[in-house]
Amino acid sequence: MKLMLLGPPGAGKGTQAKRLEDAYNIIQLSTGDMLRAEVASGSDLGKEAKEVMESGALVSDELVIGIISSRIDQDDCQKGFILDGFPRTTPQAEALDVMFADKGMTLDSVIEMKVDDDAMVERITGRYTCSECGAGYHDSFQKPKVDGTCDKCGGTEFTRRADDNAETVRSRLEAYHEQTAPIILYYGDKGVLKSIDGMAGIDEVTAQLKEVIG
Ligand code: AP5
Ligand code: MG
């Protein structure tokens, strides 16, 4: 099964992709996570992406298309995956079509998570993740059961993203509306687009996703 989650920063793509991984036994492919791993490793690619990401703009199409194309070829992707944060521009969507045609793959569902921009700043500035296992949390909306301890792995170290501040969120939302929102029409025209209400609670959003995925 191959799924794509579309939505602005803070829509809940990462939160839900992790839940869908478990429910459908497929893996999350987040270009944001892949780029952050490159930045953390200090690779040339990471050096190229770091400043752009911290400004809230999009890195070049060429760079992310290259990353995702080689990632999709790996063994663990053959049973299926959830695209989270890719494609993000019309050229990326077109490149994905070519990639899928070349690899003999088809997309099962493209799902738009509809949210209000105004709520995204609070979601993003309150977000943090377990440094050990990457589980996601929120200061108000998704607290660990025991304060300061990860529910999944028991880790006690947490990190916040460098681009998760109110000012950068505004730039990221702008980039989304200018460069990414047009691809919703792209998939709408192909007749594969489904929409859900991303403003509902986290469990309710998961239920809606499972319903549209079928
Ligand atoms: P990326 O990492 O993809 O970030 P993003 O798109 O800005 O999205 P986020 O990860 O911020 O939001 P999310 O939808 O995953 O929300 P989450 O589930 O965490 O990209 C980062 C950067 O990398 C880009 O700015 C760009 O520079 C670069 N990049 C990446 N891909 C690229 C590409 N293809 N092309 C070019 N550049 C690229 O939820 C947020 C918080 O809200 C969490 O704390 C969560 O607990 C909480 N929450 C989630 N759902 C709910 C809910 N229903 N109710 C209440 N709280 C909720
Ligand atoms: Mg994310």
Active site residue 161: yes
What is 129-156 written as a DSSP string?
EETTT--EEETTTB--SBTTB-TTT---
How far, in Å, CA of 18 to CA of 146, rounded? 21
pLDDT of 172 reads 96
| Six token digits for residue 62 | 């060429």
pLDDT of 180 reads 97
pLDDT of 56 reads 96
Residues with CB under 6 A from ligand 1: 7, 9-15, 30-32, 35, 52-53, 56, 58-59, 64, 85-86, 88, 92, 123-124, 126-127, 136, 138, 141-142, 172, 201-202, 205
Query: Which of 16, 20, 127 is the pocket-test mutation for ligand 1 (most atoms within 8 Å of CB)?
Result: 127
How far, in Å, CA of 19 to CA of 17, rounded? 5
Q: Which atom of ligand 1 is nearest to the CA of 52?
A: 27
pLDDT of 148 reads 97
- For ligand 1, atom 9: residue with the closest CA: 9
What contacts 115, CB < 8 A, 6 or more positions away? 7, 8, 10, 11, 12, 198, 199
- For ligand 1, atom 56: residue with the closest CA: 141
SS3 6: strand
Q: Which atom of ligand 1 is nearest to the CA of 140?
A: 56
Ligand 2 mean position, distance from CA 56 (Å): 13
pLDDT of 116 reads 96
How far, in Å, CA of 148 to CA of 208, rounded? 30
pLDDT of 184 reads 96
Weakly modelled stretches of the chain, pLDDT under 70: none
Other C-beta atoms closer than 10 Å to the C-beta of 38 total 21
Please state whether the predicted TM-score (pTM) of the whole model is above 0.85: yes
